[in-house]
Structure 1
Amino acid sequence: MRDITPATNFIHTLMQSPPDASAWIAGGNNFPSISGLARFYATEYEGTLVEVEVFGLPNVAAPGSSNFYGMHIHENGVCVSPFTSAGAHYSRTPAKHPNHSGDMPPLLGNQGYAWMAFYDKRFTIPEIIGKSLIIHRMPDNFTTQPAGDSGERIACGVIK
């Protein structure tokens, strides 16, 4: 008999439930081929399940390549390239990076494609509606203040 764990419930949620919020991701002027979707699901564990799928990341043309990209929820839901109007990382309480509510794990792109899912208790669905999800050109180093030195904002999606 298989034990029910949070992961079992998360897989069921991803397979069977519509998201409670989502963000269509589009690349900016320098990376117009980037597209994708982030989905956000409320869970019974008082946290949020996040699933992200992205196509056309910068390493798409390099066979066998893989790169990490910074990914964060930013405070404003404005996605006009170069995405600076999205503001700083979202945080419900004052915190240093990487402890902002909107700091997320890095996105791992393999030859331009990335998929990931993770669970986070630092934000709820109502808190992030109207904010933006930003993908950065470089990986987050998790130390540099105020935002991890993850470089250019290459893609953005407003969370609805």
Structure 2
Amino acid sequence: MRYLKIVLVGLILIGSYNCKEAKKEASEAAEEMEETMEEAVEVEMISFKMEPKSESGVTGEVTFVQENDKISMVGTFSGLTPGVHAIHIHEKADCSAADGTSTGGHWNPTAEPHGQWGQEGGFHRGDIGNLTADANGNARIEFSTDLWCLGCDDENKNIVGKAVIVHQGTDDFTTQPTGGAGARVSCTGIIK
């Protein structure tokens, strides 16, 4: 009987130790999961339709995805004339004018000259560049940068409250302050 009591006490101690060890492991796993969640990628997305301007019939959709400190933009368009067209971010999310001029000029919070993105001599934060429409008038553009953000406190980076404009012509990257891109044929405000 005494042997049985010793075995029973031993089993209780082992069980108690195993429970304590299991609780400790569970607690460590929970802490590790919490740390992983804190390091998780923050992703935010906005998507919107483009509306025709200047009697063009140009439509499309633009999506901005912010992943941590980088924004990726994807735009698809239809109704363009075949060839090269400029695309920019403009100052105001106001597409009320029939010709899109209610959006103001290119978004340029750092007061740089107009130019090609990333090139010496400066560029507007809104100087995205050009896209090419195929023979059917369809075009797609992909663009990424860490110089934009969605709703952050840095007014030199925050694109919320701005507009996307597609132009009739090509951005020559030199004509000031617009790149000589011509009429505004499609517009949307970036409204979060």
The answer on whether the counterparts of 2:61 and 2:76 sit within 8 Å (CA) in structure 1 is yes
Aligned partner letter, 1:37? E
Q: Which of the two has greater helix per residue?
A: 2
Unaligned regions of 5+ residues in structure 2, if any? Answer: 1-42, 116-122, 152-157
Q: State how far apart, in whole Å, the 2-side matches of 1:102 and 1:121 are.
A: 13
Q: State how far apart, in whole Å, the 1-side matches of 2:184 and 2:44 are.
A: 25
Unaligned regions of 5+ residues in structure 1, if any? Answer: 1-17, 60-66
Q: CA deviation at 1:97?
A: 0.5
2:74 matched residue in structure 1: 51
TM-score normalised by structure 2 residue count? 0.66
2:50 matched residue in structure 1: 25
Query: Runs in 1 of length 4+ with deviation above 6 angstroms?
Result: none
**Structure 1 residues 3-152: aligned runs within 5 Å:** 20-31=45-56, 33-44=57-68, 46-59=69-82, 67-80=83-96, 81-98=98-115, 99-111=123-135, 112-126=137-151, 127-152=158-183
Aligned partner letter, 2:50? I
Q: CA deviation at 1:150?
A: 0.4
> Higher Cα Rg: structure 1 or 2?
2
Aligned partner letter, 1:151? G
Aligned residues: 134
Give the number of the structure with larger relative contact order, counting CA–CA contacts within 8 Å between residues 6 or more apart.
Answer: 1
